[in-house]
Amino acid sequence: MAKQRCDECGERVRVAGGIGDMWTGGGPSGGMTLEFADGSEHFLCFDCIEDLPEEPSGDDVAGVGP
């Protein structure tokens, strides 16, 4: 089971997939990497993703989350 920190709030969340899930049976991921139109990429937890505006840009990532 791999974990990664959210680029906004810093929370360590589970990342699904990979060899670790082969032995443990897996489970849901706690976040995902988003690529924005400006070319930036950010790994965000689902709580921070929910706080983004309707059509976000990379600039909208700063200031979201708990």
Tens of pLDDT, residues 1-43: 678 999 999 999 988 766 655 566 666 788 999 999 889 999 9
DSSP string, 7-59: TTT--EEEE--SHHHHHH-----SEEEEE-TTS-EEEEEHHHHHTS-SS--GG
For the entire predicted model, the pTM comes to 0.77
pLDDT at 42: 94
